[in-house]
């Protein structure tokens, strides 16, 4: 069974600085997708960025980028120029390409605080 | 704006008293999901509908059931809530099944069981 581990329950970063959230996963599959979701307080969860495992190039979305290390099964999220609106719970997630049960496996999340 | 709507946002029920949570979507997506998220834990998939086809997770308690009367609406029924069922319940939709398709989440319903 696949697992997703986020080892940092909470992190803090100064506004305008860069922060990296860690995520590791375990799978025996070769085809899958990885996601970072953001859940602000009292607001809905939204997709921040996704990565296809077959792509070597790291995904980037504006200030958000990932460092995908397939062999190490590592998928970290880097937030550049942190803003107050980035404060949220961030979930790393895995979804199998081969298994069609449509299940997303989430990590336990990292709560990110932005210090003004 | 097209979106996923959950009502109510906060629901209080008594131990053993049936409760229904509702989700609606204006995205016209084929797939709808229900997740349970307990405090400081990851969301856990309970079940999902692909169109009218119901897919139950193996470890979802029998106490939890779902209905999808049409494309737009999906309901979560908890027949006899226990204290352990207190959680945030998230509804999500996806245009199609399959790994690449993004899931769009509603704001959640926070259930309190007294």
Q: Do B43 and A107 touch (CB under 8 A)?
A: no
Distance in angstroms (rounded) separating the CA atoms of residues A101 and A96 = 9
Locate A26 and state its tokens: 């375990």
What torsion, rounded to 10 degrees, do the Cα atoms B72, B22, B85, A35 define? Answer: 40
Contact B45, B57 (CB under 8 A): yes
Each residue's pLDDT tens digit, A57-86: 999 999 999 999 999 999 999 999 999 999
Within a 10 A sphere around the Cβ of A18, how many other Cβ atoms?
A: 12
The residue of chain A nearest to residue B107, with distances taken between CA atoms, is A44
The residue of chain A nearest to residue B99, with distances taken between CA atoms, is A97
Report the pLDDT averaged over residues B42-59: 90
Residue A97 has pLDDT above 80, yes or no: no
Q: What is the pLDDT of residue B41?
A: 85
Q: What is the pLDDT of residue A41?
A: 84
The residue of chain B nearest to residue A94, with distances taken between CA atoms, is B99
Cis peptide before B42, with omega less than 30 degrees from 0?
no
Residue A102 has pLDDT above 70, yes or no: no
Residue B99 has pLDDT above 70, yes or no: no
Each residue's pLDDT tens digit, B52-96: 889 888 889 999 999 999 999 999 999 999 999 999 999 999 988
Within a 10 A sphere around the Cβ of B26, how many other Cβ atoms?
A: 12
Cβ neighbours of B41 in A, within 8 Å: 108
What torsion, rounded to 10 degrees, do the Cα atoms A10, A15, A18, A19 define? Answer: 0
Q: What is the pLDDT of residue B97?
A: 76
* Mean pLDDT over the full length of chain B: 92
Each residue's pLDDT tens digit, A10-47: 999 999 999 999 999 999 988 899 999 999 987 789 99
Q: What is the pLDDT of residue A56?
A: 87
Distance from CA of B67 to the nearest CA of A (A): 18
Q: What is the pLDDT of residue B1?
A: 63
Q: What is the pLDDT of residue B12?
A: 96
């Amino acid at each position: 069974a696949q697992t997703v581990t986020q080892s940092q329950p909470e992190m803090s970063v100064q506004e305008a600085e860069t922060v990296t959230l860690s995520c590791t996963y375990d799978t025996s599959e070769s085809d899958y997708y990885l996601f970072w979701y953001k859940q602000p307080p009292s607001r809905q969860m939204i997709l921040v960025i996704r990565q296809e495992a077959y792509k070597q190039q790291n995904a980037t979305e504006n200030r958000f980028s990932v460092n995908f290390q397939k062999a190490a099964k590592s998928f970290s999220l880097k937030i550049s120029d942190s803003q107050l609106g980035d404060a949220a719970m961030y979930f790393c997630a895995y979804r199998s390409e081969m298994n069609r049960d449509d299940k997303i496996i989430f990590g336990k999340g990292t709560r990110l605080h932005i210090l003004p | 704006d097209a979106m996923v709507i959950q009502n109510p946002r906060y629901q209080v029920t008594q131990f053993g008293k049936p409760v229904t949570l509702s989700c609606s979507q204006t995205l016209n997506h084929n797939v709808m999901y229900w997740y349970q998220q307990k405090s400081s834990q990851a969301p856990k998939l309970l079940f999902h509908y692909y169109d009218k086809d119901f897919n139950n997770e193996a470890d979802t308690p029998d106490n939890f059931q779902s209905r999808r009367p049409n494309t737009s609406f999906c309901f979560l029924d908890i027949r006899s809530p226990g204290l352990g069922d207190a959680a945030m319940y998230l509804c999500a939709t996806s245009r199609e099944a399959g790994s690449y398709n993004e899931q769009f989440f509603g704001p959640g319903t926070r259930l309190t069981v007294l």
